[in-house]
Chains A and B, each alone.
Chain A
C-alpha cells in the first residue's frame, strides 16, 4: 500500500513540476527580438488615421526609417501637403522635431504624442520590453479565440512612456495582441491592439495597430504599415542634416 502511495506522490510531484510558470523574462526578450532588426535597417510607409469626437478625421502618411542596432529612427511626413517634410529624428538619446517652414528643430520626447494622434513617439522605436519592464504577475485567459497570458508589468526605469502595462501575449507564438497602458497612479490611459502581423525573415512585426484613448471616449488611431523594406540605408539618413536637405 505504501508503495502505491509513494508512486502517487511521485506522479503528483511530476505534474506539479510540469506546471511551473513560464519564463516571462525569456518571453519578453523573444518579443523584443521578434520585433527588432538589430543587424539590418528597416523602412516602411505608415498611414495614420485618427478619429476624435466632433472633429474631422485626421489622415497622414509618413515614411519611417529605423536602425534598431543603434536605436535610431527618422519619421518623415509625406502627406498632407501642408505638413509635408515635417520630420522626427531619434538619435543619441534625443528626439528632435523639424518644421520645414521655419527650418528649425525643436526638442521633443518619446513620451509625447506623435502629431495629434494617440500614438506616442516611443511606439516607433525599437522594442525594449525586457529592458524596461519586469513582470509582477500573470494569469492565463482568452482574447477572442486565442489563449493568452495576461501579464502585469511595471517599469524598471522612469524613461518609459507608461510606468505600468498589462499585456495579452499569445501563448503559442509569444506575440503581443493587446496592451493596456497605465499612468503612475495606475489610471488606464490607452489601450493598444496589435491586430495584423507580418513574418519577415525570422521576425514577426505588427503591421496593423489600433490605439484607443481611454480618457476621451471615441478618440482612436489606426496605424497601418506598408511597403516594408530591409534595404540598407545610408548613415546620413539618421541625421538632422538629411531632414534639412530633403526639404530644400
Chain B
C-alpha cells in the first residue's frame, strides 16, 4: 500500500498542471457546497427563530379541528365559515403544560376578524389578537415597537392599532385615528348575532419582526375580544317552530315546490288592524334578565395556548407528551408546531427556501459534473502511461488502486482547502451580513439580514460527496484504460 501511495504522490507531482486544475475545481466545488449549505441552514434556523421568538412560540395548542388552523385563524378557503373552537378544559391544560419540565413560558390568545366602523364613512376589516398583556409581553418581549401611546396594561380595556391598520383606516374611511380616540368595533355576524364594542385606542405600534399577515394584526384586551367572538357563558336557542317554518328547507327540487295549485300558494290573510300604542311597543321584549346572564363572557375561553420551550430541539417530544396527555384525559384538543401555527407566511417561507435549496443543489450537481468530466479526461489522457505500466508487470488491481488513491489525495488536499476557503468567506459574510434587498429575500433569509454561520454538518456532507464523486468519477476512465492492450498503449505513446 505504501508503494502505491508513493507512486500516486509521484504521479500527481509529475502531472502538476492537471493536478492543479482538478484540485482547483474540486476546491471550488466543495467551497460552493459548504457556503450554500451553511447559508441555507442558517436561514432555516433564522426563519424558525423569527417566528418562534416573535409571535408563534414553538408549540400551539388549540381545540381539535378537522381543518388547518393557524394563529391567524382558518387556513383553508373551504373552511371560511368554520368557527375556531375554544380550548376545552383550559385550566387543566394550562396547568399540565406549565408543569412540563421542557416548557419555559406560555401565553394565551384569541383570534378573530372584526370591522372598525366610522358611521357612514365606511368600515375597515381588521385582524384582532385578544391577549393577556403581561404574559404576551413576557413571551415576546422584543417584537413590539410602540410608535405612539403605550402598551396595554393587565385588566385594562383598549386596543393597540398596528401602523398599517391606521393607514388602511385612513385610506378606507378618510379618518385619522389617534391615541385616546374611542372606536366602534363590531364583529362579522356569527352564531350570537352582531356585537358592538366601543374601545379606546391605547397605542399605535408595529411588530419589529413582521410579515404581511402580522402587519395587519391588532392587539386588543381579551374581554372585548371575547364579547366580539361571542365567548359567553351560555347560548339559548329554545324556540318553538311550526312545521311550516322549516318546510321549504327540505325541498326536492325547485320545480317541485311550484307544482301545487295557485290556491296553495296564495292565501287570504286575516289582518290585525287594531291601533298599536307606544307603550305596548316599548314592552315588546319582556324580561331581559336571562339575556344579561347568558351574555357574560367566559373568562376561561381562549382559542390558543402558545408554548415556548427551553430547548427548541425538544418540540416533537413535548408535542408528543401533550398529545398523550390529551388522549389519556379525553380532552378534545390538539397541538401544532410553529410552522403550522405561524400560518401561510411560514409555509411560504419554507417553500421559497426549498426552491432556493433546489437551486443550490443544481449548482452543486453542475460542479460535480464538471469535476467528474475533468477526472475522466485526465485519466483517459494517461491510457498510454497506464498501458506501459501494465506492460512492465503492473496488475489491473494495482492500477485501479493507484488511480483511486490519486483521486482521494487530490480530493482530500483540495477539498480541505475548499472548506478553509468557504469558511473564510462565511466568516466575512457573517461579520458583514447579507442584507435582504427585497421582501422575497427577507422570506428566504428569515429576516432583514442574514449572518451565515459555518455548518459542521454541511462540511461533513460536502467532504463525503466529494470523496464519493472522486471514486465514482475514476471508475469509468479506469475501465477504459484497462481495456487497452499494453502493446497498443505503448505504440500510441
A residues adjacent to B (C-beta < 8 A)? 43, 47, 49, 51-52, 54-56, 58-61, 63, 76-86, 94, 97-102, 104-107, 113, 115-116, 143-146, 172-173, 177-178, 191, 193, 195-201, 204, 207-210, 216, 219-220, 222, 224, 227-234, 236-237, 242, 245-247
Contact = CB atoms under 8 A, between A and B. Distances in A.
Interface string B249-270: 1010011111110100111110
Contacts of B251: 193, 210
Contacts of A172: 262
Contacts, number: 204
27 contacts: A49-B246, A51-B249, A56-B191, A59-B237, A59-B239, A78-B285, A80-B239, A81-B236, A81-B294, A82-B234, A83-B193, A101-B295, A105-B196, A113-B189, A115-B194, A116-B189, A143-B254, A178-B254, A193-B254, A195-B258, A199-B266, A220-B249, A222-B246, A229-B274, A229-B276, A232-B276, A246-B282
B95 interface: no
B265 to A, nearest CB: 6
A188 B328 CA distance: 48
Contact of B239 (A61, A107, A144): A61
A80 B288 contact: no
A106 B282 contact: no
Most buried by A among B193, B241, B244, B254: B193
A106 B193 CA distance: 13
Contacts of A54: 82
Nearest to A199: B268
Nearest to A204: B266
Contacts of A197: 265-267
B196 A104 contact: yes
Contacts of A245: 282
Nearest to A102: B196
B285 A145 contact: no
Contact of A106 (B184, B235, B265, B278): B184
Contacts of A224: 242, 244-245
A224 to B, nearest CB: 5
Contacts of B227: 101-102
| A-B interface, 7 closest residue pairs, ranked by CB to CB distance from nearest | A144-B258, A99-B196, A229-B272, A198-B269, A210-B248, A83-B193, A81-B236
A101 B224 CA distance: 12
Given A101-B295, A116-B190, A200-B271, A85 B241 contact: no
Contact of A77 (B193, B197, B271, B273): B193
Contacts of B76: none
A193 B248 contact: yes
A49 B245 contact: yes
Contact of A97 (B196, B198, B249, B275): B196
Contact of A49 (B117, B241, B256): B241
Most buried by B among A98, A104, A191, A200: A104
Contacts of A143: 254-255, 258
B239 A79 contact: yes
Contact of B193 (A115, A246, A247): A115
B227 to A, nearest CB: 7
A246 B288 CA distance: 11
**SS of A interface (majority):** strand
Contact of A144 (B123, B257, B285): B257
Nearest to A178: B254
Given A173-B266, A208-B244, 5 more contacts: A54-B82, A94-B120, A200-B269, A208-B248, A222-B248
A82 B244 contact: no
A129 B301 CA distance: 47
B99 interface: no
Contacts of B256: 144
B235 A82 contact: yes
Nearest to A59: B239
B232 interface: yes
Contacts of B278: 234, 236-237
A84 B288 contact: yes
A73 to B, nearest CB: 14
Contacts of A233: 276, 281
B196 A106 contact: yes
B460 interface: no
Nearest to B246: A49
B14 interface: no
Contacts of A102: 195-198, 227
A58 B191 contact: yes
Contacts of B277: 234
Contact of A145 (B241, B258, B268): B258
A68 to B, nearest CB: 16
B63 to A, nearest CB: 15
A222 B247 CA distance: 8
A228 B269 CA distance: 8
A99 B441 CA distance: 47
Contact of B197 (A78, A104, A145, A196): A104
B271 A230 contact: yes
Nearest to A177: B258
Most buried by B among A82, A85, A99, A236: A82
Nearest to A40: B273
Nearest to B224: A102
A231 B272 contact: yes
Contacts of B212: none
A208 B243 CA distance: 12
Nearest to B256: A144
Given A58-B191, A231-B274, A146 B196 contact: no
A94 B119 CA distance: 9
Interface string B60-82: 00000000000000000000011
Given A84-B288, A101-B295, A107 B123 contact: yes
Contacts of A173: 262, 266
B291 interface: yes
A54 B238 CA distance: 20
Nearest to B270: A228
Given A106-B186, A106-B194, A198 B239 contact: no
